[in-house]
Chains A and B, each alone.
Chain A
Amino acid sequence: KAGVTQTPRYLIKTRGQQVTLSCSPISGHRSVSWYQQTPGQGLQFLFEYFSETQRNKGNFPGRFSGRQFSNSRSEMNVSTLELGDSALYLCASSSSRTSGGRDTQYFGPGTRLTVL
């Protein structure tokens, strides 16, 4: 089975711009979660989508948004980029048919975003 794929792998943007990151989950997985990793804050949960609905959300400003398509692929959007948004953005998928955190999440290689 192919793993989680993320595109692009690297991205350079300037302050004020917006960016869209894409994630394709493992075939058959319906849950997609997004995480931000920075040296200062570590790994932080952004949000999770399941069957095209946001099921859980972390403590991030509204500039961070996402969506999921009927084929389970997900996109994450960050508007009005700030320098502090520079990070590795990781996507994870799980087969999760129910809530409750019991499913193992499998991660993609990440998108490294640099904001200048």
Chain B
Amino acid sequence: AQKVTQAQTEISVVEKEDVTLDCVYETRDTTYYLFWYKQPPSGELVFLIRRNSFDEQNEISGRYSWNFQKSTSSFNFTITASQVVDSAVYFCALSEAKAAGNKLTFGGGTRVLVKP
């Protein structure tokens, strides 16, 4: 069965510092998809990024970047030059190609607090 682990429960930084969130996953499927979502205090999960298992190229999108390493089953996410508005809970999630339909398995989340 699939599993997602976010070992960091809470990270506190001062504005403008970089923040890296760790995510380790387990799956038996050879094709899968990885996601990062942000949940601000309002409660809605906001989609941030998505990665396919067959594409290990790491990218940067604005202040967000991610490091996908299939060899270590990790999908880490970095916020560069953090801002107070980045304060939220961040979830890493996995879906498998062999699954019927869409089913996301989430990690436990990492609470990020950015102090001014």
A residues within 8 Å of B by Cβ? Answer: 31, 33, 35, 42-45, 48, 50, 55-56, 58, 88, 90, 92, 94, 96, 99-110, 112
Total chain B interface residues with beta-carbon distance under 8 A: 29
B100 within 8 A of A: yes
Q: Which residue among B31, B95, B108 has the maximum number of chain A CB atoms within 10 Å of its CB?
A: B95
Chain B residues near A109 (CB, 8 Å)? 42-44
Chain B residues near A110 (CB, 8 Å)? 43-44
Query: Are the C-beta atoms of A102 and B97 separated by less than 8 Å?
Result: yes
Query: Are the C-beta atoms of B44 and A56 separated by less than 8 Å?
Result: no
The 6 residue pairs across chains A and B that have the minimum distance between CB atoms: A101-B95, A55-B101, A107-B45, A43-B106, A56-B101, A109-B44
B residues within 8 Å of A by Cβ? Answer: 31-33, 35, 37, 42-47, 50, 52, 91, 95-109
Query: Are the C-beta atoms of A106 and B100 separated by less than 8 Å?
Result: no
Nearest Cβ in chain B — how far from A55, in angstroms?
Answer: 3
Chain B residues near A107 (CB, 8 Å)? 37, 44-47
Chain A residues near B105 (CB, 8 Å)? 45
Q: Using CB atoms, name the residue of chain A closest to B97.
A: A100
Query: Are the C-beta atoms of A31 and B43 separated by less than 8 Å?
Result: no
Chain B residues near A55 (CB, 8 Å)? 100-102
